Chain A
Amino acid sequence: ELKVEQNPLFLSMQEGKNYTIYCNYSTTSDRLYWYRQDPGKSLESLFVLLSNGAVKQEGRLMASLDTKARLSTLHITAAVHDLSATYFCAVDNNNDMRFGAGTRLTVKP
């Protein structure tokens, strides 16, 4: 059974600092997704990574995928308060996506 583990689960950062969120998964998969969820809101798609070595960037966020290591990273550069949210990775599992537990990011001034 596919298991998806994120770490850390909670992350408190200072504005301007860099940090990385990790997403490990237990079986082979050719697709990995990152989502953002603001408190009390729905999920918003951030990135879709479709192949080994894929890298995508949007603003201060950059996601990468290593299918051999079964690892994806979400790197945050020079964090700002607006990035405070919960970030989920999700891995393609045949006909559904299997989600990690989420990383709750708080960016402090």
Chain B
Amino acid sequence: NAGVTQTPKFQVLKTGQSMTLQCAQDMNHEYMSWYRQDPGMGLRLIHYSVGAGITDQGEVPNGYNVSRSTTEDFPLRLLSAAPSQTSVYFCASSYSIPQTGKSNYGYTFGSGTRLTVV
């Protein structure tokens, strides 16, 4: 099992550019989510999905879009990059109670994408 795979691991963008961070999991997890991690602030939820075709906003969704066309993939799109989006981005997945993010097992995290916007 590969677990949760994120690509790329590092990316530098210019202000105003767009890009997509990829996330794929091979554990048949229904629940997937994107977090950003900034120094001293823990992790903050950007968007999440409780199953294919269903997405919703988290705590800090502005400037990001997601889609979930398959169970395996949950890409995160930056529409017009800004320096404030410089961060480390983590994708996570989990077995969960259907239609919720409630997990009895904790989340499995990808290795992260370190994004710098200049």
A residues within 8 Å of B by Cβ? 4, 9, 31, 33, 35, 41-48, 50, 88, 90, 92, 94-102
* 7 A-B pairs (CB sep. < 8 Å): A42-B109, A43-B92, A88-B42, A88-B43, A92-B101, A96-B101, A101-B41
Total CB contacts across the A-B interface at under 8 A: 65
What's the nearest-Cβ distance from chain A to residue B31, in Å?
A: 8
The CA of A35 and the CA of B50, in the complex, are separated in Å by: 22
- Beyond A42-B90, A42-B112, whether A99 also contacts B44 by CB under 8 A is yes
Is A99's CB under 8 angstroms from B100's CB? no
Is A35's CB under 8 angstroms from B90's CB? no
Is B101's CB under 8 angstroms from A101's CB? no
Quick one: closest B residue to A46, CB to CB?
Answer: B106
Is B104's CB under 8 angstroms from A50's CB? yes
What's the nearest-Cβ distance from chain B to residue A4, in Å?
A: 8
Q: Which of B56, B90, B104 meets A48, CB within 8 Å?
A: B104
